Amino acid sequence: MPLGERGIDNKGESRYCGVEADFTDDVPRLLSFNLSNGGFDFVVAPLMNPDYRPSLLEKCSDKPRVPPFAGSDLVVNPSRWSSHVVGKISSWIDLDADDPDVQMDSEISLKQEIAWASHLSLQACLLPTPKRASCANYARCVNQILQGLNNMQLWLRVPLVRADNESIDETSGIFTDYWEMWNIFRQLCEHDRKLSVALDVLSSLPSENSIARWYGEPVRAAIVNTNCFLTNARGYPCLSKRHQKLITGFFHHSIQIVISGKPLHEVLKRYSDLDAVQGANNNNGVVSHHLRPYLEYVGYLYQKMDPLPEQEQFELGYRDFLQSPLQPLMDNLEAQTYETFEKDSIKYLQYQRAIAKALMDRVSDENISSTIIVLMVVGAGRGPLVRASLQAAEETGRKLKVYAVEKNPNAIVTLHSLLKLEGWENSVNIVSSDMRHWDAPEKADILVSELLGSFGDNELSPECLDGAQRFLKEDGISIPSSYTSFIQPVTASKLYNDVKLHKDVVHFETAYVVKLHSVARLAPTQPVFTFTHPNRLTNKSNQRFKRLQFQLPTDMGSALVHGFAGYFDAVLYGDVHLGIEPLTATPNMFSWFPIFFPLRTPVCVQSGGSLESMFWRCVGSNKVWYEWCVTSPSPSAIHNSNGRSYWVGL
């Protein structure tokens, strides 16, 4: 039974909880005990007897050379194998051992077990943790296997550990920051999307920043050992506040929990080792499970989580989904796109507040009856800003004459129909024209627009508003009055692999709009480009360049930068702003998702190290484009040179 049975499944696979089991050749009984009696959703179980070694089998010529798999595939029906069993690869395997016989046994056994798991149509297999810092041969064999897999995932078991010293202990050759081990392993396997992580959660946890790195990695499961649990007043297992927060974070990122180990709490000690295999009868004669109380506590943590807000539920389908940014000048928006934006009531409420403040500053209470404000909505779409402007005028008692300027002929049809429906005939003039080429009959007191993109200027708001500025009065007001873009480095394994699927440079040189979810934000955001309107400078070049230096927290450990997340913050008027920059984001607004600038080759930044990057905004005769690169700690190529892959048409 899944941890939670809610009307809306908002945690994905994390509602399923598994259990790590020992080897047995009686798979039906193993599943019955752990699933039916224990209440777990799946088992992580060895497929081969732990005493098996291929070299020993070769020497026993009097026995059939058949590896001791956990029973025939016929003992369980195919759908049950697929949905309820994760294969656990033998933990003795050591492909980088000094002993060549151990190496050979390990390679043969690894390939046999994966082949058997694939034959059973298992969804995943758990690979043992590399036993030494040099794991190249292990990674080589896994990489060979990955080339022949179709749907099955390989989960590399990685301890959630990071010490405060160096990443490798020189005396033992063992990792103290196991993220380093994972990073080496996945790079040797060419970032294969079928290679994932199963984190071993221990009783001692690393820092919050160190843990946060993993949310940008392909973590599929978290194996929680029973020694992580404390004991409550009744003698039952519970978790510390830090462990609770960790498990909740895993739920939010669709990471499944796997319970592992023996019962360690007073009320559970009546279970012997025999009970752990066979089950113990409770007072009702029902077979009990020795780890059921641990499962119930994890289920309790799941159930007490707050349901996702309505906005987050709406955005679920967009999480980590790459979308090409809009081309507002080249393309005409469709009705469905307009409708989506128009549902963002918070956005238009902020605009209404800004317009109301501007009207009150523009016209004093003494001049309300004698003054008519000329307000132009440039890029009116289907009229939401026209509506917000008229409501602001009604709220403040000011008189308005509105020009609704729109280049999309289809949206013009909608605007004309609204004249009668909304009763705008006496106050709104509809203009079918590109704002940059329109000859206005009079100048505006207030210019209102919603031309902002996820990166602020990426939908050509500067170019459009510079073109429209000629019909704004010298003391006129622009709403928005300014906007600034922001950048931060991120670990985003899923996004990187999604771009990598295209197998070309073009997609690595394209900026994408994406609802960021499975990412690790590695450093605070920094401002990039700022534009102010009206722009009274004599030199109105909209080209920009910015050098940015990011410092990773010293307690984070090393991290891999897959690209940059971009945001914006805009001042509409006075103290009214809207934006998506994480620290100042407008609550409950969904009109914009962040933008993602990928790197063709991810860059590793050492613990406490710095990352230097450069961003350019380039303007040509008929297009605007961005170029970006990393210069330190290791230089990358300059992405999108001359706008060869991604640009916005003027």
Query: In sequence order, which residues have a C-beta less than 8 Å from that of residue 61 and are 6 or more positions away?
Result: none
Catalytic residues: 450, 459
Helix (H, G, I), strand (E, B) or coil at 145: helix
SS (H, E, C) 530-596: EEECCCCCCCCCCCEEEEEEEECCCCCCCEEEEEEEEEEEEEEECCEEEECCCCCCCCCCCCCCCEE
d(CA 296, CA 303): 10
d(CA 577, CA 567): 14
d(CA 193, CA 499): 11
Paired sense of beta strands 174-175 and 168-169, if any: antiparallel
Burial of 459 (0-12, 13-18, 19+ CB in 10 A): buried
Query: Of 612, 605, 608, 640, whose CA–CA distance to 626 is shortest?
Result: 640
Query: Of 218, 319, 193, 302, whose CA–CA distance to 257 is shortest?
Result: 302
Contact 142, 129 (CB under 8 A): no
Helix (H, G, I), strand (E, B) or coil at 625: strand
Q: Which amino acid belongs to residue 146?
A: L
Structure tokens at 227: 């020694």
Helix (H, G, I), strand (E, B) or coil at 472: strand
Query: Of 203, 216, 297, 293, whose CA–CA distance to 249 is shortest?
Result: 216
Structure tokens at 420: 């009668």
Annotate 404-420 with b (16+ C-beta within 10 A) or e (fewer): bbbbbeebbebbeebbe
Whether omega for the bond prior to residue 480 falls within 30 degrees of 0, making it cis, is yes
State how far the alpha carbon of 554 is from the alpha carbons of 158, 165, 209, 266, 551, in Å. Answer: 21, 11, 9, 40, 9
d(CA 554, CA 210): 9
Annotate 332-365 with b (16+ C-beta within 10 A) or e (fewer): ebeeeebeebbebeebbbbbbbbbbbbbbebbee
Whether omega for the bond prior to residue 534 falls within 30 degrees of 0, making it cis, is yes
Contact 447, 467 (CB under 8 A): no
